[in-house]
Amino acid sequence: MVIAITNQKGGVGKTTLAINISACLASLDYRVLTVDMDPQGNSSDGLGIDTNKLDATIYDVLIHDTPVSEVVIPNQLENLFVVPANISLSGTETELSSDISRPFKLRKALRPEVSKYDYIIIDCPPSLGILTVNAIVASTDLLVPIEPNSYALKGMSMLMSTILKIKEDLEHYAFFLGVVINMFDIKSNLHASIVEAITEYFTARKIFKTKVQRNSKIPEAEIHGRSMIQYDPKDKAAETFMELAKEVIEKKS
């Protein structure tokens, strides 16, 4: 599976899911490649990579056709590997503007790597620009995180329209794996009602059973460059991400 974690809305937890699902899958003995497609490089940072000291990043893959294998950095966690990003990626939109093959750059680059990994997880930027389009076109599956607030469904129609347009114009169909409710407050009646509305919008079978609750240790772990199962494997959040990873595995089978 090549899974793009996407939502054009920022602050919904794409990076948190990318880091922790990747780490949990790796800890379950699956070989995992995490591809950071966000110029902020947060998933790279969150997996212990100093983004200011990189010789090559996903930018070089997309712009200079550097093989992915030359950019991959192994994580401290066995079976987990990272294609990092940093601020240099922010210029990609402009630099690819005249390249007719621009929507397919990542798919072409990942093609030699697919057989080497059980899962490739792509962390997308908070936009529907060329980087996200590349991620969707390169993916077999889409996972959408949503924070249960009053703006949760705003913009979802835009994302779905983009996915449909990619299917029609670029002849690529990525399976909609489902929605993950992130930053959920189990005690909040508002959150419960919003989750109900989200479920009605997508249908229950497209909502992951596992909801990720707010937990101060999650950003704490990311600051230390670790996933939750590396930082505090006995914490409730680590258990939640493991349950989520197992749901991803179930959806593949």
Condensed to tens digits (0 to 9), the pLDDT of residues 168-195 reads 889 888 899 999 998 888 878 888 888 8
d(CA 208, CA 240): 12
Percent of the chain predicted with pLDDT > 70: 98
Write out pLDDT tens, residues 67-79. Answer: 999 999 999 999 9
Tell me how crowded residue 24 is: count the other CB atoms within 10 A of its CB: 27
- Taking the C-alpha atoms of residue 20 and residue 218, their distance in angstroms, rounded to an integer, is 9
In sequence order, which ranges of the chain are alpha helices (DSSP H)? 14-27, 42-46, 58-64, 92-95, 105-110, 130-138, 156-169, 189-202, 217-223, 228-231, 236-252
Average pLDDT, the chain: 92
Integer Rg of the chain from CA: 17
What is the topology classification, in CATH, of domain 2-252? Rossmann fold (3.40.50)
Q: What pLDDT, on the 0 to 100 scale, is given for residue 106?
A: 97
